[in-house]
Amino acid sequence: MTTTNSWPLGVSGLAYGCDYNPEQWPVATRVQDVELMVRAGVNLVSVGIFSWAMLEPREGDYDWGWLDAVMDRLLEARIRVSLATATASPPPWLTRKHPHILPELADGTVLYPGSRQAYSVSSPVFRDYALRMTRAMAQRYGNHPALAVWHVDNELGCHVPHDFSEDAARAFRAWLSQRYGTVEALNAAWGTAFWSQRYDSFEEILPPRVAPHDPNPTQQLDFARYSSDELLRHYRALREVLRGITPNVPITTNMMLTSRTKWMDYFGWAPDMDVIATDHYTIAADPERHIEAAFSADLSRGVSGGEPWMLMEHSTSAVNWQERNRPKDPQEMVRDSLCHVARGADAVMFFQWRQSKAGAERYHSAMVPHAGTDSDVWRTTVRLGRALAALAPVRGSRVRSQVALVFDYQAWWGSELDSHPTQHLGYMAELLRYYRRLWLEGVSVDIVSPGADLGEYRAVLVPTLYLLDDDAADTIADAARSGASVLVTFFSGIADQHDHVRLGGYPGAFRELLGVRTEEFWPLQADEVLRLDDGTGADLWSENTHLAGAQAVRTWAQGPLAGKPAITRNQVGAGAAWYVGTRPDADGVRRLVRDVLAEARVTPVVDGLPEGVEAQRRHGADGARYLFVLNHTGEDVQVSVTGTELLTGTRAEGTYALPAGDVAVVREA
C-alpha cells in the first residue's frame, strides 16, 4: 500500500454502487439516474472507464463539459466517484494514426479495433498516450470533492493477457536481461542445451510464438511472468502520474480474482494497490456457483492480506457472454452480494447502473434494467441498498480462519504446460475439489500464497503446487513441524522456479516432509477408475510410491499398483504431513478432509448446519461478532445463534429461523 488513505474518500458505511456510463444517455436520463441512485442507496459509482473517445474525440481536443456536469450532479447527491483514467479502450483516431500499437496473438494475428482493449500494453507509443490521458484526467478532476478513488484502466489483461507483437518482443528481452543479467544465466535457467536452443545474445530471443512443436517450457513460463509484470508496469506508470498530482487519493484497478482468471499474478500485484478491488461473475450453468463465488471472495481476501476489499463489479442478473445467459432470481442476487460481504468485502458494486440499449453488452443486466423500475431487478436493487445500509457496523471487521489453502498463479501456469505426464490435469479443478469439501464442511478458509505465514493455522492444504522455491517449501514444512496437519496432493513440489525437475524421486521439494518417494508417475487413462482399499475410487493419476517414514492410509486395491500406497501420513514434529498420490472421488475427498480436520481440531463456523447452508463470521476490533448465514437450499433451516439480526432487527434467542433462499446477519451476543 502506497498512501495513508486506503479506502474511497468520503464513503461511510459499506460502499454500494456500480459502473456508471452516463455518456450513453441523454441529459434528461442522467438527471433521473441520480434521483434513482439516491432511492437505491447508492453512494459510490465508477465513471469514465470507456470514455476516452468521448472525452478526447480528436487528438488534443478535449470535451470535458458533460463529465463536469456528471461529477457535479453526483456530488450534489452525496454520491462519491471512483474515477477511471479512461484508458481502457483507445479511440479510433489513435489506432488509425498508430496501427502498430495493436496487440498480436502467438500466430501473428493482429487484434483490431472494434471491441475494447485493442492495445499492446508494451507499446511505448500507447503508453505515452495513456499517460497523457491519465494526466489530463488528474489535472481536471484531482481537486473535485466527489473524487473518492482512482480506477486505473479496467480489468487489465482480461482480453489480451499475452501480446506477441514486436513491441512485446523487445520488452520481453529487456525483462529477461534484468531477470538473468547474462545470457549464460538464461541458457542455464532455460535448459537450452536441449534441442539446440542455446542463445548467444538476448537479441536472438523471441516470445513463444507458434512453433513446429512444443516450445521451451521455461521460456513459456517466463513469458507468462513477463506478461503479468508488464501489465503491472503499465498500472504503475499510470499510478505514478496520479500520485504526483493527487498524493492523498487512493488508487486501485479492478482485478479479476476468480477461478477463471489465470494469467495475472495478483499476489504479486497486491502491494501496489491502495485497496484491493475485484470483479466477479457467476456461471449460470454451474449448479454450485455459490461455492465458486465463496472461493473467489476468499481469494480476494487472501490477496488483500485480510484487509477489507471492494467487489467492484458483479451482475444483478444475467450476463451477455455465456452460452445461455440465465438470470438470477431476486434471492440469489442478494445472496451473491452478501456472500462477498460475509467474506471480507466492504463494497458491493455492479456492472452497471442502467442497462445499455446499444453495444455489445446491451443484454447484460444492470441495476436499472430495460424493464425500468417496475421490475424484480430494480426492487431487489433497492432492497439490497437497504440491507447494506443496515450492515454499516460490519465495515472494517475481519474474517478469521483455522484452515489455509495454498494457491499460486505460477504453479497454475507451470502445472498446465504441455509435455507433462497427462494433459488432462487442471490446476484450478484440483484446488476447487478441496475447497468445495471445506465449504461443505462449513469451515472458514484463508487462501494464501506460498511462503505466507502459516503459524496461525491448524490445517494447511496444498493442492498440486507443481513448482515452488525452497523457502516456500520450508515454510510449509515448518507449519507441520509446529503442529499443523498439512495435506499435499499429487504433482506438487516437482519443479523449481525454472521448471527444472527436482531429482532423486518425487514429490521433490516435499519428499522429506511427506516421508515418501515416488519413482514413477502412473497416469490413468480416460474413464479409468481404480478402487482403493477403503472402497472409494480414484481416477486421472496414480504413482509408484514407496514409504520412507510415512504410513499408508489408503492403498490401491486393484490395478498394476495394487497393494502400494495411494494416500499416506507422516508424523512430523508436533504435526503431520499427508500425501494424496491420486485424485480421489467425491466420497474419498470427503473422508480424507474430515480425517484431516478432525486431527487438526478444526471446527465449523456454526455447528449443525445442513449442506448448502453457508456460514461465515466477521470479527470487529471492538469485539463484535457478525455471523452471516446464507441459505442456498430450498428448505427452511434453524440456526443456533443468539443476538440481533441486523437486516430485520429481530432478536434471536438460541435459534434463528432462516427461510429457504434467504440471508441472515446476526450481531452475536
**Which residues form the catalytic set?**
155, 313
Q: How many other β-carbons are positioned within 10 Å of the β-carbon of residue 669?
A: 11
Query: 420-456: b or e for each residue (b if 16 or more CB lie within 10 Å)?
Result: beeeebebbebbbbbbbbbbbbbbbbbbbbbbbebee
Nearest to 552 by CA among 536, 540, 570, 534: 570
> Would you call the peptide bond into 219 cis, given omega within 30 degrees of 0 as the criterion?
no
C-alpha cell at 420: 507433462
DSSP symbols for 612-636: TEEEEEEE-TTS-EEEEEEE-SSS-
C-alpha cell at 423: 494433459
Cα separation, 532 vs 120, in Å, equals 51
Are 363 and 313 within 8 A, CB to CB? no
User: What is the dihedral sign for C-alpha 266, 267, 269, 270?
Assistant: positive
Q: Backbone phi, then psi, for 75, in 5-degree steps?
A: -60, -45
Which residues, in sequence order, are CB contacts of 393 under 8 Å at separation 6+? 620, 624, 626, 646, 667
Nearest to 70 by CA among 51, 44, 47: 47
H helices, E strands: number in the chain = 17, 29
Cα separation, 617 vs 401, in Å, equals 9
